[in-house]
Structure 1
Amino acid sequence: MLRLRIQRTALPRNALILTDTPRPDCRNCEGVGGIPHDYGDPATGEYAGTDWEPCDCWTEWRTLLLPLPRLPRWLRRRGTGRDPWAPGGYSDEPPF
């Protein structure tokens, strides 16, 4: 049985996508959607990464529902230093 949800993605372009979610009561993956397997480097035995084995209760497919429009250039905010409305900008002047 599919458990669908709507998600927002930003790559390659902002869009709404439809995805499947894992079963929360799955005994194999405990609702995570897969089982991680840690592995080490054969020469040193140190941790080298994690393999991900998807669980049978979940499929990793995605379907594009709706591409979201881009902002016009005049509405995009750019950091210009002392601009108080820019993300990361700061002004020490009083608001009046």
Structure 2
Amino acid sequence: MNALLDQVAAVHPEFDGLHPHCLRSTCATNFRAAGLSRGLDEERVDKDMMYFFGWRSSASVRPYIDAAIRRESCEISLGYQATFFAKSAGVAYDQQ
């Protein structure tokens, strides 16, 4: 897999430094977001992630859940900051 990603980076330098673990982490984070957006509760999403990624224990999924929570909190924070600074500048901001 690393050799394949090296070949991709040789043609597309913007992907230099991309590693399989990064891809897996991104996939897990997006998988979690998709499950939650479909109305599944967190326990169900955790079980689905374990099945999809082939993890045998809930401890295996925990680092990916923590990363997803960090990402979600950053997105919420950025939205809040944009609203706050837009209001202080007198600009209307439509939060999605």
Same topology, TM > 0.5: no
Greater RCO, CA 8 A, separation 6+: 1
As a proportion of its length, which structure holds more strand?
1
**Could you say which TM-score interval applies, normalised by the shorter chain?**
under 0.3
As a proportion of its length, which structure holds more helix?
2
TM-score (norm 1): 0.19
Bigger radius of gyration among the two: 1
